[in-house]
Amino acid sequence: MIPDPWAAVLNAVIYLLLAPVVGGLIAGIDRKITARMQGRVGPPLLQPFYDVGKLFEKENLVVTTTQNFYVLSYLVFMAVSGALFFSGGDMLLVIFAFTLSHIFLVLGAYAAFSPYSHVGAERELIQIIAYEPMIIITAAGMYMVTKSFYVSDIMQSAVPVVLYLPGVFIGYLIVLTIKLRKSPFDLSTSHHAHQELVKGVTTDFAGPNLAKIEIAHWYEYVFLLGVVYLFFGFNPLLAIAAIIIAYFLEILIDNTTSRAKWQLTMRSAWLVAGTLGIINLGVLYYLRMVVVP
Amino acid sequence: MSYLSKSPWIIHYDASSCNGCDIEVLAALTPVYDVERFGIINTGNPKHADIFLVTGSVNEQNREILKNTYDQIPDPKVVVAVGICASTGGIFRECYNVMGGIDKVIPVDVWVPGCAARPEAIIDGVVKALGILEEKRKARKRPAGDRA
Ligand code: SF4
């Protein structure tokens, strides 16, 4: 079913306006909890907003001006994919826009000449290759359960999606670690100081460009947690609780593990997609076709 | 209201320090002092930095690196010389290869005394630097395009 156009536009606008606020707050809470786990007081809750405000006050130092274009495209496509998602659009189109936005980030990092930026870009590509299968399996699984790729249908369906897709849900949580740039899978860049080669994929972005990347991350946070919501669409309260628990687990994993090599990242992400994801879909198919036709 | 003073990111460069001052700089990041309380982050990337912390005196080998790192920091930026070595050359002043304090190569805004400089003094120096950073931001706003 195609969603009601007015409601869709309204939802998209609400997302575009509110997601940076919510995403920034999530980042702030994340930093606070991380600091407490390390026995520190930690920065103020609004620190991510101060950081971005400051970055806009700085000089926009670029190696080549094409970087500006790529960073802006990254931000725009990230916002578009989230807006498509929250307006109840087609999951496959959302995933397509989401991947495209990351490709722009990689291109931006390749546009600069520094070897650190290039290594960061390569690692970002590896991450994309690692998490992409699981994301697509997630969309496929939701289609098998609810018979629709439209987010609006999945959201409204009374079927307890997570009970049909437990393997896919766990698999999604594992690739979420990659997507949120959390240890042990924060290969391309991390939010912790001094963990990677200079600053990985963001090495050659300064000032306003870095601020745009940060805002794109906030949009991304909200979108990714929105996918967690879909698994629990039948019960909004449960869904919110699941999001909070999932995010807390991510912070805990981030603070208790050290970074893995790219081989391990790739292998674990694909292993998860190949076992939990595919087996889950296989069982579902079997049940649908053979047991309850 | 400026955000600059609420989120100063630091890059630390060891010119030719005895390592005493470096250890004190890193001590400021530990849970005891936890400079992230003030939004301060120790980044390894000059392009993300606002404050340039330098320990140790400058010598013929690293003057280029020091200058290059300084040039890569986007405006507005401030330089803090941590310890006597960075300020004047300290006990290494007479060495045949040492040029002296880092102000021989780059403009310094704040000098932090001590051998080694205490973490409290370093944090004090950074807080002083924030005021200067704010002035530089305002100065940058007024005339259009006055990049050095
Ligand atoms: S000031 Fe003292 S402690 Fe610091 S680098 Fe120089 S000699 Fe070492």
What secondary structure does DSSP assign to A193-235, as a single string?
TT-SSTTGGGTT--HHHHHHHHHHHHHHHHHHHHHHHHHTTT-
Fold of B4-146: Rossmann fold (3.40.50)
Q: Using 50, 70 and 90 to split pLDDT, how confident is the model at A1?
A: low
Query: Is A155 a domain residue?
Result: yes
- Which residue has 């005493």 as its token pair? B20
Query: Is A162 a domain residue?
Result: yes
For residue range A48-94, list pLDDT tens digits in order: 999 898 888 888 888 888 889 999 999 999 999 999 998 888 899 99
Chain B: residue nearest A211 by CA?
B48
* Tally of residues, chain B: 148
Number of domains in chain A: 1
- Tens-digit pLDDT string for chain B (148 aa): 578 888 888 888 888 888 888 888 888 877 788 888 888 888 888 888 889 999 988 988 888 999 999 998 988 899 999 999 988 888 888 888 888 888 888 999 999 988 888 888 988 898 889 889 888 888 877 655 544 4
Contact B102, B108 (CB under 8 A): yes
B17 lines ligand 1 (CB under 6 A): yes
What SS3 class is residue B94?
A: coil
* pLDDT of res. A80: 92
* pLDDT of res. B148: 43
Is there a contact between B6 and A58 if contact means CB atoms under 8 Å apart? no
- C-alpha angle with apex B6: B4 to B10, nearest 5 degrees? 75
Containing structural domain, residue A182: 8-291
- A210 CA to chain B: closest CA distance, Å? 8
pTM for the full model? 0.89
* Joined tokens for residue B106: 């780059």
Q: Using 50, 70 and 90 to split pLDDT, how confident is the model at A291?
A: low
B56 lines ligand 1 (CB under 6 A): yes
Query: Is A3 a domain residue?
Result: no
Name the CA dihedral angle for A268, A260, A181, B25, rounded to a multiple of 10 degrees.
170
For residue range A240-253, list pLDDT tens digits in order: 999 999 999 988 98
Percent of chain A with pLDDT over 70: 94
For residue range A99-135, list pLDDT tens digits in order: 999 999 999 888 888 888 888 888 888 888 888 888 9
For residue range A133-174, list pLDDT tens digits in order: 889 999 988 888 888 888 888 888 878 888 888 888 888 888
* pLDDT of res. A192: 66
* Tally of residues, chain A: 293
| Mutation choice for B interface testing from A41, A58, A188 by most B CBs within 10 A | A58
Q: Using 50, 70 and 90 to split pLDDT, how confident is the model at A233?
A: confident
Query: Whose Cα sits closest to atom 5 in ligand 1?
Result: B17
Mean pLDDT estimate for chain A: 86
For residue range A6-54, list pLDDT tens digits in order: 888 888 888 889 999 999 999 999 989 988 888 888 888 998 999 898 8
CA distances, B41 to each of A52, A120, A142, B37, B74 (Å): 14, 20, 41, 10, 16
Asked if B41 is an interface residue toward chain A (Cβ–Cβ < 8 A), one would say: yes
CA distance A123 to A26: 25
Query: Is A1 a domain residue?
Result: no
Is there a contact between A60 and B31 if contact means CB atoms under 8 Å apart? no
Q: Where are the beta strands (DSSP E) in chain A?
A: none
Query: Whose Cα sits closest to atom 8 in ligand 1?
Result: B18
* pLDDT of res. A70: 92
Chain A: residue nearest B2 by CA?
A54
Query: Is A2 a domain residue?
Result: no
CA distance A115 to A199: 11
With 80 as the cut, is the pLDDT of residue A197 above it?
Answer: no
Looking only at the bridges linking them, the beta strands covering B58-59 and B98-100 are: antiparallel
Mean of pLDDT values over A235-244: 89
Query: Is A209 a domain residue?
Result: yes
* pLDDT of res. A74: 92
| Cis, bond preceding B76 (omega within 30 deg of 0) | yes
Mean of pLDDT values over A263-268: 84
The ligand 1 atom at the shortest distance from the C-alpha of residue B21 is 4
B55 lines ligand 1 (CB under 6 A): yes
